[in-house]
Amino acid sequence: MHTQQKRNERPGRKIGAERRRVARMILRDFYESEQFSNLNRMVQLAMLELCPVQEKACDQEGGVRRLA
C-alpha cells in the first residue's frame, strides 16, 4: 500500500522510464550504423558498457520490477 502511494506522488517516474527506454532503443539502432563502426574502439566499448546490445533477460520480461 505504501509503495502505491509513493508511485502516485511521483508521476514523473513513468515519464523518466519511458525516456530511458527510448534512449536505449535509439542507441541500439545507432550501434548497427556505419557511423558507430567509424568511432574509436574505446568509444564503442564505453557506449556498449553503458547500454549493451541486448537487454538482460529480466529486463525483457517486463513483469519483473525492482524493489527499492
Split into its structural domains, the chain has a count of 1
Q: For residue 13, is it within any domain?
A: yes
Average confidence (pLDDT) over 31-53: 95
Rounded Cα distance, 38 and 51, in Å? 18
Q: For residue 67, is it within any domain?
A: no
DSSP-H helix ranges across the chain: 2-9, 12-31, 34-37, 41-50, 57-61
Q: For residue 42, is it within any domain?
A: yes
Range of the domain at 50: 2-58
Statement: residue 18 has pLDDT above 80: yes
Average confidence (pLDDT) over 27-52: 95
Q: For residue 27, is it within any domain?
A: yes
The reported pTM is 0.60
* Percent of the chain whose predicted confidence (pLDDT) is above 70: 69
Average confidence (pLDDT) over 34-63: 83
Q: What's the chain's average pLDDT?
A: 81
